[in-house]
């Protein structure tokens, strides 16, 4: 849970010049043209540990320290309640009623840990995401 001030606003207790580097880089990524990769910010040697902890806390460490390599996850629907984009990456629930399920087309490689990310772009009521392994 994030710390809040007496008015309920989120309080981020980070070194301002380090937090500024995160904000500036995220802005540069947003403004970058197709195929353009902004240069990573330079952090003073004595502040590298604090910077790493901060970006891990914020959940953006993959942007600054490289993403964890993982499988190219493609999905297919299990019922007519979901449509899938032509690249098999974007799932859209067709109906606002009931559950919907999708499964991976690709088998995960045998390794100790697999990390993947899901983004919810529009939430009408609630969402549950689960992983079943055999």
50-86 confidence digits (pLDDT tens)? 999 999 888 888 888 765 444 556 667 777 777 777 7
Per-residue pLDDT at 68: 47
Q: Which pTM was predicted?
A: 0.49
pLDDT of 87 strictly over 90: no
pLDDT tens-place string over residues 25-45: 999 988 988 878 888 899 999
pLDDT of 88 strictly over 50: yes
**DSSP code at position 10:** B
DSSP 3-state of 19: helix
Q: Return phi, psi of residue 82, to 5°.
A: -130, 140
DSSP 3-state of 49: helix
Q: What rounded mean pLDDT belongs to the chain?
A: 77
Return the residue matching tokens 């993959």. 62
pLDDT of 123 strictly over 70: no
What mean pLDDT comes out for the span 1-17? Answer: 87
């Amino acid at each position: 849970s994030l710390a809040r001030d007496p008015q309920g606003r989120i309080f981020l207790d980070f070194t301002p010049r380090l937090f500024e580097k995160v904000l500036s880089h995220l802005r540069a990524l947003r403004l970058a043209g197709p195929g353009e990769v902004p240069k990573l910010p330079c952090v003073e040697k004595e502040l590298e540990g604090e910077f790493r902890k901060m970006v891990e806390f914020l959940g953006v460490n993959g942007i600054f320290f490289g993403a964890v390599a993982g499988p190219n996850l493609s999905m297919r629907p299990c019922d007519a309640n979901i449509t899938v984009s032509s690249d098999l990456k974007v799932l859209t629930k067709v109906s606002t009623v009931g559950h919907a399920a999708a499964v991976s087309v690709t088998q995960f490689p045998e390794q100790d840990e697999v990390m993947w990310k899901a983004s919810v772009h529009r939430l009408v009521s609630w969402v549950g995401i689960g992983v079943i392994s055999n």
